[in-house]
Chains A and B, each alone.
Chain A
Amino acid sequence: MDGCFVIEREAAPVSERPTSPHRKGSGVEGAVAAVAPMRLARRVVDKDRESVLDEFEDLIVAIARKRDRAAFRALFDHFAPRLKTFFMRGGLDPAAAEEIVQETMVKVWRKADQFDPAKAKASTWIFSIGRNLRVDFLRKEKRPQPDFNDPMFVPDPEPDGFEVLSVAQEADLVREAFDALPPDQKAVMTLAFYEEKPHSEIASELGLPLGTVKSRIRLAFQRIRSGLGESV
C-alpha cells in the first residue's frame, strides 16, 4: 500500500448498515453462505486528515463517560440481534443464545471504561466479550488473557512512523481479505469462529486430514497479511 495514503471508512448510519439476505443452510456450505460480505465503503484520503471514529466506538465512550442510556440502547439495537445470530450459528438454542447476549451487553455496560478505541473497534471488543462468555457457558472454563497492567507485560514497540494504519483501517483490510478468501479457506475460518471448535475437531467434522486444515489456515493467514500490504 502506498505510504502517502490511508483508507478511511465512511461510517453509515445504523439503519443503513449493509446486511445480506439471510440464507439458511447447515454444514460448511451453509456456514460460508451465511457470512455476509464485510466489505465496506471506503475512500482514499490524504493522510494528514484525521479519520473519523466509527460511531459505535463513540457510543461506548459515551456509555463510559456519561452512563448514557440512549447510547447503550443504540449499541444494543445494533449488536444484540447480531450476537444472537452468531451464537445460534454456533449451535446454541435461541434461549441460551439470548442469555449470553444479555450477559455480553451487561459486560459492555460495566466495562465500557476499559474500552480503548485506539486498540479495537467496537465490534471486535464486543465479539471478544461474547466469546469469553460463551466459553464459560459451554465449558465452564476460564479463558486466560494477558494483563496490560502487569509489570512483566512486554509493551508494543514504538511504531516506526511508516504506514501506520489505524485500528479501524486495519480491521477493514482484514475483513476485506477475509471476504476474498477462497471458499475452502473461508469455510475453515468461519467454522472456527462460529462453532468455537479447535481446528482438529473442524478437520474431523469436515472429514479432512488435519494437515489439510492446517495448511488452509496458514494460506488464509498469508492472504490476510498480503491484504495488509505485508510480505508473506
Chain B
Amino acid sequence: MSIDHHPSEERLLDYVSGGLGESWSLAVATHLALCPKCRNTVARLEAMGGGMMDAAEPATLADNSFDALWARLESEEDEADSMPAIAGHAGKIDLPEPLRSYVGGSVDALPWQNMGLGVRQLLIPTADQSTARLLCVAAGRPVPEHTHRGEEVTLVLQGAFRDSTGIYAAGDFQEADETVLHQPHAEKDRDCICLAVTDAPLKFRNLAFRLVQPFIGI
C-alpha cells in the first residue's frame, strides 16, 4: 500500500496529546494501522510526551499512596488485563482495527443506509460531538459538490476517489475545511468506501440536494 496523503502534523500532535476527539481519533488511528510512516511520527511525539512527564518536578503524593495501591492490586490480583481477543467476525475481515470494532463487521454485512444518488452511509457511534460515518460511493459516481461549515477528514478504505486536489486511494487521508469546495468522484473500477468525520453538516451547492439534506442526514 502506497500512501500519498497523510494527516497534518498538527493533527498527529492532537492525537498524541489526547486533545483530539474520539471521532477524529478513530480516523487517525485507522490511518496509523495502515501507515508505518505516521506511526513513526506518533512514536516520536509520544517519546516527547514521556520526556515532559519524566522531567516534571515530583509532586508529593497522598499519604500511603503506594500502600493503598498495593492493597488494591492484591485484592484484585490475577484480574490481569488480558489482550483483547481479536473480534471473531463470521464474515471476512476487510476493515482494519480500530474501525472494525466500531462498526462490527465486514463491509458486505453492514446495515448500510441507502441515500440515493449512488451513496450509502453508516453512522458510527462515538462519544464526542462530531459525526463519524462510513460512506460507500458507487463506482464512477460523484459525491455531490460541497463545502464544509467546519472541518472534514476522509480516510479511504477501499477503492479510490478523485477531486480537484488529487487522487485518494486506500489508506490516504484527506483534510478539508470551509475553504475547500470539492466534488469527489469514485474511480470507475470499484465502489469507494471511506471513513468520513465532520464537525458540522456538509454544505451542498446543488439546491435540490440541499433541500433533501435534512432528510438524509448527511
A residues near B (Cβ < 8 Å) are 19-22, 34-38, 69, 73, 76-77, 79-86, 88-89, 94, 97-98, 101-102, 105-107, 109-111, 113-114, 119-121, 123-128, 130-132, 134-135, 139-147, 149-157, 167, 170-171, 174-175, 178, 189-190, 192-199, 201, 213-214, 217-218, 221, 224, 228
Contact = CB atoms under 8 A, between A and B. Distances in A.
A99 B95 CA distance: 36
Please give me the 10 A-B residue pairs with the lowest Cβ-Cβ distance, nearest first.
Answer: A81-B58, A124-B50, A123-B50, A146-B33, A152-B96, A171-B47, A147-B97, A127-B50, A144-B98, A36-B55
A86 to B, nearest CB: 4
Given A102-B69, A127-B50, A141-B127, 11 more contacts: A19-B57, A36-B57, A38-B52, A109-B73, A120-B46, A141-B128, A144-B98, A151-B93, A171-B51, A193-B48, A214-B10
* Interface size class, chain B: 35 or more
A130 B32 CA distance: 20
Given A157-B36, A196-B17, A144 B22 contact: yes
A199 to B, nearest CB: 5
Contacts of B46: 120, 124, 127-128
Interface of B: 1, 8-10, 13-14, 16-22, 25-26, 29-30, 32-36, 39-41, 43-44, 46-62, 65-66, 68-70, 72-73, 79-81, 83-84, 86, 93-100, 102, 126-128, 171
B83 A114 contact: yes
A109 B99 CA distance: 28
Given A36-B55, A141-B21, A154 B34 contact: yes
Contacts of B22: 139, 141-144
A20 B44 CA distance: 23
Contacts of B21: 139, 141, 198
B14 A192 contact: yes
A124 to B, nearest CB: 4
Contacts of B58: 19, 81-82, 84-85
Contacts of B97: 146-147, 150, 152-153
Contacts of B70: 69
Nearest to B128: A141
Contacts of B59: 81-82, 84-85, 88, 94, 97
Nearest to B22: A141
SS class, residues of chain A in contact with chain B: helix
Contacts of A121: 47, 50
Contact of A174 (B13, B17, B51, B98): B51
A99 to B, nearest CB: 10
Given A144-B30, A146-B39, A192-B19, A130 B53 contact: yes
A168 B80 CA distance: 28
A211 B81 CA distance: 43
Contacts of B72: 102, 106
B57 A110 contact: no
B19 to A, nearest CB: 4
Nearest to B66: A76
B30 A19 contact: no
Contacts of B30: 144, 146
Contacts of B60: 81
B1 A38 contact: no
Contact of A192 (B13, B100, B127): B13
Nearest to A219: B9
B127 A193 contact: no
A82 B53 contact: yes
Contacts of A83: 53, 56
Nearest to B14: A198
A213 B22 CA distance: 22
